[in-house]
Structure 1
Amino acid sequence: MEHDETEETGIKKFENFFEGFIFWSRWVQAPMYIGLSFGAILYLFKFFQELYHTFHQTIELHETEMMLRILGLVDISMVMNLVVMVTIGGYSIFTSRIDVDHHEDKPLWLEDLDAGQLKIKLSTSLASISGVQLLKAFINYKATAEQTSVEGIIIEIVIHMVFITSALLLSQTEKITHSYKHGSHAKTTAKELGD
């Protein structure tokens, strides 16, 4: 009998160690988030480089070219937002909770953020970025038509529609899943109160 208890205790210790190691393995992602932060800094440099070139060429630029340069800056800022969302959201969901609940500068999008909501935010960001790219193609249609065929523009439109559709489908799936979870939770609570 004692032999069985010792064997069971040994298995339980191994199981605890194994589960602890699996749980610890979430920290393997942390260097990627640090890398994304450095990538954001590099992209910030690119933003100011583009702004500097635009500033020095303001007088020479036609209105359409100026609009395209500004849209390029908007595009960079939207990609930066995407990187920040992945970095902060991914870290706080999958690695370790960031304790900023009482910080006055806590971003609103971090409220009750979970993996489903992060996916929706990312997919809508991708749709927005592709929308800016499509807007740039339409504004500069003459130059774009010389560089790419009509098929190329149609492909851009299709890609943009795929991003929008995927964002809508993700949000609908999350809404159904969220209402199902809350519905079953409400039933359980009502049953417990009834007992």
Structure 2
Amino acid sequence: MTRMTATAVALVLALSAPAFAGSSTSTIDQIGDGNTAGVTQTATGGNTNTSDIDQVTNGQATVVQGGTGAENDSTVTQTGDGSIADVDQSGSGATINTSTITQDGANTADVTQSGDGSTNDSTIDQSGGAGNIATVIQGGDGNMNTSTVTQTGDGNTATIGQSGTEVTNTSTVLQQGNLNTATVTQN
């Protein structure tokens, strides 16, 4: 297994420098050619940012984490060619954001989590196919948002939007086969 090059380590450290006031951890493992990973972590106060990206051949992952008093945790695992994952986590107060993306093949996942005092949990599993797209947007104040998207096959699209004030939203989308479309809106 190949670890980050000295240049990649310097880049991650430079982008994470302000985070050392709180706590911040970023681990990137890349195997094969054409992998791209970017992590930006900003921690203030009691903020904890953790990011783990594992890529095998031609994966692209971007993780942006920040917020005052928020706890952010993101894991991206990509195998196969052409996977794209974007995670943007922020919040204030006692917000807890957790995102897990597992991709095998040329699939796209986009997660945006924010809020004030909310707990946001998103899991996306895209395997056994290509051309799948999953978008999860979680926010609101005082919410408990949970979203699980599982896509197998080709050309499936899932869009999840969860928001509101002091509500509990739970969404599970399972797409098997090809060219399925699901849209879930919870307030």
The TM-score with structure 2 as length reference comes to 0.24
Highest RCO, 1 vs 2 (Cα 8 Å, sep ≥ 6): 1
The TM-score with structure 1 as length reference comes to 0.23
Larger Rg: 1
